[in-house]
Amino acid sequence: MSISSDGYRVIFEEYAGRHYIKDFEKKYKGAWLTTRKALVSEFRNIDMLINSGRTNPPIHRTDDNMQWVIKHEFVVAGLKESKKTSGRRIIAYVNDDQRVVNVLLVYHKDHVDKKSSETAWWERVIKGEYKVLLKDFRF
């Protein structure tokens, strides 16, 4: 799904929907739709979100600094918890030159393979699923 605005275009990748977003849709129903809209709104201004410190700084960048991979913590609408303790994360690819944010993974820490660290797990997943999109990255 692609949503555009004057800011960045936000695309939720099919892999993320098939594997993890469906869990959020089933568990949180209408609250997930509200949350998704809020996330799209935030990601439309991803550069401001990063510069203001309201999300983690880019984890990986290309050599020209025009493409980033970020991890963003979030809460589901209506739940009384902090972003840090919620265990909910998004891994997104940002192409600053094209003004696009691709949401690669939306997951809860319970989705993570217990045999590896969270970072090792999501890096393995995105390297396997998004080879073409992330071809300029060295992990």
Whether 93 and 60 have beta carbons less than 8 Å apart is answered as: no
The Cα–Cα gap between 8 and 11 comes to 10
* Domain-embedded: residue 139: no
What domain range is 56 assigned to?
2-129
CATH of the domain at 88: 3.30.2310.20
The Cα–Cα gap between 94 and 58 comes to 9
**What pLDDT band is residue 58 in, cutting at 50, 70 and 90?**
confident
**What pLDDT band is residue 2 in, cutting at 50, 70 and 90?**
very low
* Domain-embedded: residue 48: yes
The Cα–Cα gap between 15 and 94 comes to 17
State the pLDDT at residue 52: 87
The domain tally of the chain equals 1
- Summarize the confidence of residues 73-80 as an average pLDDT: 92
* Domain-embedded: residue 120: yes
